[in-house]
Amino acid sequence: MTPDANLLPRITPLLEVEQLRFAYGAGGPRALDGVSFTLQPGQFHALLGPNGAGKSTLFGLISRLLTIQRGDIRLAGASLQRAPARVLQEVGTVFQQSTLDLDLTVEDNLRYHASLHGIGGAVCASRIETELARLELAAQRKTRVRQLNGGHRRRVEIARALLHRPRLLLLDEATSGLDKRARDAIIRHIRRLCSDRGVGVLWATHLIEEVQSRDPVTLLYQGRVLADDTALQICRDSRRATLVEAFETLTERRPTPVESDEGTAYSTEALST
């Protein structure tokens, strides 16, 4: 017997973005215009769009660097506007532009961040040890950040964002400027966080090859959501063979604004594997 859907318990999404509208300056064009989507615990959720689509504005609102003008953001049911401290304690963020102190060592950067969250003593030491090992940074712990390559700096930022044990991790173009080997290593680690620790990840990118077939994807263009489904389903619904082609169809413009630095895209055949 199939259970009545109305009798099944409702699962609260980890992140709910509801009808967000935001404009820079009075009367200016909207950077976000009615953006809504949800993210579940343990999901790697891709926020896909070209530069200027509104991805960084959305991250600024979730991390409270920007003030919500209309709409709401909820984490596990708690409103960012009503309980900001409670929500932000559950969020870790890696911005597109690095915010590490280049003159401090890797360990000192992590200790400073931990202190901002009230984490000290043995707990701080244990968490730093765990994240350094998890991200294969133990050998660099006493190295000044300015001596690290781009891939290792990104790993330090991810380790820092995880120290306070957030339930949601925001990554804004986290692999920008890295070579393929470094990008692949970071993405593998982030996906393990989803599967092993149940961390929800909102992964903002313009690189199509970072998205897998079953990933939930929110396609953002000029501040609006064009599609919100799995990568494979978006291709099927638009009757296009690739995400790039689906995006072109949805935006009705060419050349495609969604870039791939390798000049390739997943076909529906590849996505179905």
Helix (H) or strand (E) holding 200: strand 200-205
4 vs 133, higher pLDDT: 133
Residue 111 backbone phi and psi in degrees, to 5 = -65, -40
Quick check: is 270 in a domain?
yes
pLDDT greater than 50 at residue 40: yes
178 vs 85, higher pLDDT: 85
Same domain, 63 and 180: yes
CATH number at residue 237: 3.40.50.300
Quick check: is 59 in a domain?
yes
Mean pLDDT for the stretch of residues 71-93: 95
pLDDT greater than 50 at residue 272: no
Quick check: is 15 in a domain?
no
pLDDT computed for residue 177 by the predictor: 82
Mean pLDDT for the stretch of residues 150-166: 94
Give the SS3 label for residue 253: coil
Same domain, 210 and 247: yes
pLDDT computed for residue 10 by the predictor: 59
Quick check: is 67 in a domain?
yes
Same domain, 64 and 189: yes
199-226 pLDDT, tens per residue? 999 999 988 889 998 999 999 999 999 9
Strand partners, 70: 21
Please, are residues 64 and 89 in contact by the beta-carbon 8 Å criterion?
A: no
183 vs 268, higher pLDDT: 183
Mean pLDDT across the chain: 88
Same domain, 183 and 238: yes
Quick check: is 215 in a domain?
yes
- Of 145, 165, 65, nearest in space to 99 by CA: 145
Same domain, 47 and 179: yes
Considering all CA atoms of the chain, what is the largest pairwise distance in Å, rounded to the nearest integer? 64
Give the whole-angstrom CA distance, residue 175 versus residue 183: 5
Mean pLDDT for the stretch of residues 19-38: 92
Number of domains the chain is built from = 2
Q: Which one of 145, 165, 185 terminates a domain?
A: 165
Q: Which one of 165, 193, 218 terminates a domain?
A: 165
Give the whole-angstrom CA distance, residue 246 versus residue 44: 20
Q: Which one of 134, 165, 196 terminates a domain?
A: 165
Quick check: is 172 in a domain?
yes
- Domain residues for the domain of 108 are 95-165
Please, are residues 159 and 135 in contact by the beta-carbon 8 Å criterion?
A: yes
Quick check: is 188 in a domain?
yes
Give the SS3 label for residue 4: coil
Q: Which is it for the CA torsion 92, 96, 99, 100, positive or negative?
A: positive
Please, are residues 211 and 243 in contact by the beta-carbon 8 Å criterion?
A: yes
pLDDT computed for residue 253 by the predictor: 56
pLDDT greater than 80 at residue 9: no
Same domain, 187 and 77: yes
Q: Which of 5-14, 135-144, 166-175 has the lowest mean pLDDT?
A: 5-14
